[in-house]
Amino acid sequence: MRQEKIRILFICLGNICRSPSAEAVMRKLVKEAGAEERFEIDSAGLIGYHEGERADARMRAHAARRGYELESISRPIRPWDFQAFDLIIGMDDRNVAELRRMAPDLESEAKIHRMMEFARDSLYDHVPDPYYSGAEGFELVLDLLEDACAGLSRYCAAHF
């Protein structure tokens, strides 16, 4: 049976750089494909330190130059997310390890993925934290996410 919505939650550490960007890149892809109704897309952090904040101003500026509007407000992941989403996608191995530790059962654990699993062209197996980097770190995040989100769209078309 074709499921009504594909529910995707992107996860990083602070939910102010990588996962809000993944959310915006994926939203734009899905919108351009005319598939908005098929998807529910959100992001969250593993720490609540930045809860209530907009995405990092540097990240927003780099994203805006490529036509992405980062509108999400940082929030920490909550236990209910493991029920509410179909795919829970961490940006690096530490994110994924922490998600696995939090997963309440095997069904939830099976929803966890690493973002760069979906990438096609990249030499990277994770999306590096840009927080302490210069401009090139933020550009790299967007390059990697554009590749991985395109792959994620193909994965969703094949699996849902």
Where in the sequence numbering do the catalytic residues fall? 12, 18, 129
Q: What stretch of H or E contains 13?
A: none
Please report whether residue 145 would count as binding ligand 4NP according to CB under 6 A: no
Give the residue, chosen from 9, 17, 41, 77, that forms a contact with ligand 4NP under the rule CB under 6 A: 17
CA 10/CA 26 separation, integer angstroms: 10
CA 149/CA 130 separation, integer angstroms: 18
- Give all strands (DSSP E) within the chain, no chain letters: 6-12, 39-45, 87-90, 112-114
- Residues in 35-74 that interact with ligand 4NP by CB under 6 A: 49
Give the residue, chosen from 6, 8, 9, 16, that forms a contact with ligand 4NP under the rule CB under 6 A: 16
Please report whether residue 18 would count as binding ligand 4NP according to CB under 6 A: yes
Q: Under the rule (CB under 6 A), what is the footprint of ligand 4NP? A: 12-18, 49, 129, 131
